[in-house]
Amino acid sequence: MPHDVDGREWAEAVVDGRWLRPAPVDGPREPRWGHPDGLQLGLPPIGGPRGLLRLYTPYLGQPRDRLLNFIAVEPIPAGSTERGYSELERSRLDDVPGLRLWSSDDPDGGGLRDPREPSRGVVAVVDGVETLSVDIVVEPFENGADVWVRAMFRADRPHEISVAAYRRESSVELKACVLSATMGNWARLRTLRLADGEVRAADLWPEYTGVHFAEHARFGIDRLRRDETGAVSVSAVPDEAEPHLAAHAPGTAAHWSYVGVPAVQTWRVEDPDPALVAQVNGRYTYWMSQAPIPGGIAFENFELVEPFRQGRAFAFSAEPLSHES
């Protein structure tokens, strides 16, 4: 039987109709949802840092437990510029790094739930399309933010997930709640596709060789691509045709070696606020190491930032690069 990150046995998620969902059995179960052969969502205690949503893309030729990216929850209180960080804060529930996340059928009022007993999610039909949604409770932040996240999959978009943040009444007012894709360095994303052309990481930070994050680069809504419906999007892509063949510096942790085919990672949002911006920061070395990234600085956090709107949905997709239009 498969095991969680702590070595405890649990039942793997199963295919149920057109969806992958937690198994309908008693006892510990894997918290994983999505398309059986498409994009999937996982939560701790699946392996990896606490406080982060896990995104899996097996259709890129990656093993089942190899994730493409994380999504962090980063609320900014009204009147502040400082974010809370779901990955970096220390839990006040068990004094472990990373806030607790768990799925629930009552995200606005449910108490702490064992993450190994996940909600199976809700299957519904929205505008004629079958969907699977799961609600994710986030432990309250030190800055007073108290939010939960709804993730939704659409049957007609197998390589996409929609994520939306909700503020509880117990929360401080919010300036924004950033849902940030936080691990662009694994795919070595280096090119940002904008409405007026492409921007490369090496041009944004030509001199940076430190071990921390390079400062954010921001692009207003006028720089973003817009489709016929008015939705805007921004994409980040690698600059290597075969990233799995890259030579890494001696001592680089094995988990930083890319696996599978390269992909275009995209954020898209409908009905954008005029104040919306796309942001990226960069790293020259891999996270928590001094190992330089093959090929130079690459994007790490990749996100859209907009004034907070209750239940505002942001769509994230990952399409094989060779199939991208």
**Does residue 58 share a domain with residue 31?**
yes
Residue 112 CA, distance from chain mean position: 23
| Coil, helix or strand at residue 256 | helix
My answer on whether 8 and 99 are in the same domain is yes
CB distance 223 to 278 below 8 Å: yes
Contact 196, 174 (CB under 8 A): no
Residue 73: domain span: 1-182
* 144 shares its domain with 52: yes
Q: Are residues 175 and 270 in the same domain?
A: no
Query: Can you name the residues that pair with 147 across neighbouring β-strands?
Result: 167
Count CA atoms closer than 13 A to 7's CA, side-chain side. Answer: 0
Q: From 158, 182, 206, give the residue that closes a domain.
A: 182
pLDDT, one tens digit for every residue, the chain (325 residues): 677 777 889 999 999 999 999 999 999 999 999 999 999 999 999 999 999 999 999 999 999 999 999 999 999 999 999 999 999 999 999 999 999 999 998 887 667 889 999 999 999 999 999 999 999 999 999 999 999 999 999 999 999 999 999 999 999 999 999 999 999 999 999 999 999 999 999 999 999 999 999 999 999 999 999 999 999 999 999 999 999 999 999 999 999 999 999 999 999 999 999 999 999 999 999 999 999 999 999 999 999 999 999 999 999 999 999 744 4
Residues 40 and 162 in one domain: yes
169 and 289 share a domain?
no
- Amino acid at residue number 318: A
Q: Choose one of 152, 182, 212: the last residue of a domain.
A: 182
Residues 193, 157 share a domain: no
Number of domains in the chain: 2
Q: Are residues 26 and 164 in the same domain?
A: yes
Same domain, yes or no: 164 and 212: no
Please indicate, yes or no, whether residues 121 and 193 belong to a single structural domain of this protein.
no
Question: Taking Cα atoms as reference points, which of 21, 12, 10, 20 lies closest to residue 114?
Answer: 10
Count of other CB atoms within 10 angstroms of residue 222: 11
Closest CA to 89 of 74, 104, 111: 74
Q: Are residues 177 and 189 both part of a single domain?
A: no
- CA–centroid distance for 300 within its chain: 12
Model's pTM, two decimal places? 0.96
Beta strand 174-181 with 147-154: parallel, antiparallel or unpaired? unpaired
Same domain for 141 and 243, yes or no, is no
* Domain limit, last residue, from 160, 182, 204: 182
The distance of Cα 235 from the centroid of its chain, to the nearest Å, equals: 14
